[in-house]
Amino acid sequence: MTTLTHSKSRRGTLGTPVKAVLFDMDGTLVQLRTAGRMVVLNETLADFGKPPLTDAEQVERFWFTSERYAMIDSWEIARPEFWKAFDCERLLQLQLEHTYAYDDAGLSMARLRRLGLRLGIVSNSAHISLNPKITLLEEEIARQEIEVVVSCNDDVSRTKPWADGIELALAKMNLRPEEVCFIGDSLDDIGAGNNAGCRVLIVDRGQMQTIHQIMRDQNLTHKFEVISSLQEIPQVLGLTVPVAATVAA
């Protein structure tokens, strides 16, 4: 069941047909198992001589909300140094050992390609993390079908919720914001999509209660729609025939 939280238009932000879909990676296409999230975060903290976290809720807030930045500051760790340690080869390998692709990820991307949409990925993760995660999708969607892969960590100066990563993807694809739908799972994704002027769909992986609570607490009025599965994307976008056929008609 799709829950709409703004206009029910099945087109882009200005009534323009959607030509491309950009995806967030972690939490949207792939996921690190709960135990793995705590292990990786605590291993990072250990590198700075900090005590491990035992509160699972706090670990989840770090992974799924923008509170992570304030948390890093509270640990008295410089953010660039934290992310450098977090994305080191040792911990990235540890992440991958606990990471899996969602059942609806590769299949949904492949269906969107068959319907004529262009695909891209915009993630806060570094390329050294993104590249092996893409291989988890290759059973269903070939790497060459993903037109652009943008790392907000490596390729632009500001990560989501800033729009820089999405704007770079738009420039590479020569598309306007209203021609693109951005799919994510977090408040950072919502903010980035809104700041870029794209239509935003958020897939509910069990995190929506937290997102709505933070929006209420911070009095945020972002526009987005919630879907329960990536398989709902074609229906929500009103795509039942290939885009090329629709344009030709």
User: What secondary structure does DSSP assign to the chain, as a single string?
Assistant: -PEESS---SS-TTSPPP-EEEE--BTTTEEE-HHHHHHHHHHHHHHTTPPPP--HHHHHHHHHSTHHHHHHHHTT--HHHHHHHHTSHHHHHHHHHTEEE-TTHHHHHHHHHHTT-EEEEEESS-HHHHHHHHHTTTTTS-GGGEEEEEETTTTSSS-TTSSHHHHHHHHHHT--GGGEEEEESSHHHHHHHHHHT-EEEEE-SS-HHHHHHHHHHHT-----EEES-GGGHHHHTT-SS-HHHHHH-
Q: What is the model's pLDDT at position 3?
A: 36
Q: What is the model's pLDDT at position 66?
A: 75
Q: What is the model's pLDDT at position 10?
A: 42
Tell me the per-residue pLDDT of 97-135, one tens digit each, with 9 for 90 and over.
Answer: 999 999 999 999 999 999 999 999 999 988 988 999 999
- Residues in the chain predicted with pLDDT less than 70, given as ranges, are 1-15, 241-249
Q: What is the model's pLDDT at position 8?
A: 39
Q: What is the model's pLDDT at position 84?
A: 86
Q: What is the model's pLDDT at position 76?
A: 97
